[in-house]
A = this chain, B = another copy of it.
Amino acid sequence: MTVSAVIYGVGAMGGEVASLLIERGVPVVGAIARSPQKVGRDLGDVIGLGRDTGVIVSDDADTVLQESGADIAILTTNSYLADHAPFIERCVRAGLNVITIAEEALHPWRTSPGEAARLDALAREHGVSIYGGGHEDAFWIGLGAQLAGAAHRVDSIRWESTWNPEAAGPELMSSLGIGDPASGESVSVVWRENDPRPPFGLPALDALAEHLGLPDAPRTVTTEQIAAAQPLRSSALGREIAVGEVVGVRDIIRRDPLTEDEPLLEFTVTGRLNPDQHSSGETWEIEGIPSMRMQTSFSKGHFQVTAQIANRLEDVVAARPGWVRHSRMPAIGYPSA
């Protein structure tokens, strides 16, 4: 099966996905962006491909979606459903399948249940699929779900994803409070439905719970600052972070068992400056029969994000119409030669 794609959002991620697809010979038949610096230019020029593609970046999304004849739209615009539900809707109404890197789209059923149900119904009506993919597909959910499949009994699954905010630039770093004086506070809340900005780890934990067949249960989100224990140079901030200032933040998402047969799930997402360490990664710890550990890491860059979008296109197009749950997808795989 050869699928053709529209790139919806030509930023760092959308541009890289486009490059990977073009390198593989997958037809990229449209590109949508808002920035006046990009609109009207050839996609190859905008993404630094070194040659023209014949696709002109456009800000007229409806026209591109309706006239491109593409099978799937690749959305790389936002993280939360509250922000990009209208973009998904536009693709679906134009008859395109959708894959998005939005973290919440991994499993929006509990954080934005109304919007998820509405878009799910709309996708069924139009005979297309919606799927949230990217880094989380294998590294936050799939590999752990498979590891749990080697256990007779699972008592707890604790996993942690560590990333380096230095690479994300000063804007995101200051929004995280990095460089501010640490307050020493640790804030725990039980997450409420429809709060519009769920922490990125929450939909992933919900998706893993569904893999395990667990019913809906309350999840507690604890947010902590990590204070520098020794001075640390930040190249993105262009200064040294002093002892007692914030060098990282940590979200701990926890689902306590409802019965003694259920496992505890606890997912920690830690963004922490560590200029010496260029690779990020995940650790998994399963307590049970047997107990198991898994550690994953990857080289610098975002290729593990963009490749997991590129490698999912056929699965999304082939899936049953509707918003596709991670547990209903095959494990992501390297495309066959």
A contact residues vs B (CB 8 Å cutoff): 20, 137-139, 142-143, 145-152, 154, 211-215, 261-262, 289-301, 303-304, 306-308, 310-311, 327, 330-337
Whether the Cβ atoms of B149 and A336 lie closer than 8 Å is no
Contact B290 A331 (CB under 8 A): no
B154 touching A262, Cβ below 8 Å: no
Q: How near does chain B come to A321, taking the closest CB pair, in angstroms?
A: 20
Q: Of the candidates B213, B303, B311, B336, which one forms a contact with A336 in the assembled complex, judged by CB atoms under 8 Å apart?
A: B213
CB-based contact B145/A333 at 8 Å: yes
Which of B20, B261, B306, B332 has a CB less than 8 Å from the CB of A337? B261
* Given the contacts A212-B337, A298-B290, A310 and B152 also touching, CB distance less than 8 Å: yes
Q: B307 near A151 (CB under 8 angstroms)? A: yes
Contact partners of A308 in chain B: CB under 8 A:
149-150
Write out the residue numbers on chain B whose beta carbons fall within 8 Å of the beta carbon of A330: 330-331
The interface residues of chain B lying within 8 Å CB-to-CB of A150 are 137-139, 298, 304, 307-308, 311, 332
4 residue pairs, one from A and one from B, having the closest CB atoms = A213-B336, A149-B332, A331-B331, A152-B307
26 chain-A/chain-B pairs, Cβ below 8 angstroms? A137-B150, A138-B147, A142-B146, A142-B331, A143-B143, A143-B146, A143-B147, A146-B146, A146-B331, A148-B334, A150-B332, A151-B304, A152-B311, A212-B336, A214-B337, A215-B337, A289-B303, A290-B299, A290-B300, A290-B307, A292-B297, A292-B299, A293-B295, A295-B295, A330-B330, A330-B331
The chain B residue with its CB closest to the CB of A211 is B333
Known A292-B296, A293-B297; 5 more pairs at CB < 8 Å: A146-B331, A152-B307, A292-B297, A292-B299, A294-B294
Most central of A143, A215, A297 by chain B CB within 10 Å: A143
Bound: A300/B292 CA distance, A: 10
When the two chains form the complex, which single residue of B146, B211, B213, B332 contacts A138, counting CB atoms closer than 8 Å?
A: B146
Distance (Å) between the CB of A268 and the closest chain B CB? 19
State the CA gap A299–B152 with chains docked (Å). 12
Q: In whole angstroms, how far apart are the Cα atoms of A330 and B149 in the complex?
A: 11
Q: Shortest distance in angstroms between A147's beta carbon and chain B's nearest beta carbon?
A: 7
Please measure, in the bound complex, the distance between the C-alpha atom of A233 and the C-alpha atom of B145, giving whole angstroms.
39
The answer to whether B293 and A296 have CB atoms under 8 Å apart is yes
Residues of B within 8 A of A303 (CB): 151-152, 289-290
Given A152-B310, A295-B295, A146 and B333 contact (CB-CB distance below 8 Å):
yes
Measured CB to CB, the closest approach of chain B to A137, in angstroms, equals 8
Contacts of A295 in B (CB 8 A): 293-296
Q: Which of chain B's residues have a CB closer than 8 A to the CB of A310?
A: 152
Chain B, residue nearest A301 (CB) = B290
- Interchain CB contact under 8 A, B294 and A151: no
List of B residues within 8 angstroms of A291 by Cβ: 298-299
Q: Which of A139, A146, A301, A327 has the most CB of B within 10 A?
A: A146
Instruction: Please name all residues of chain B whose beta carbon is closer than 8 Å to the beta carbon of A262 when the two chains form the complex.
Output: 337
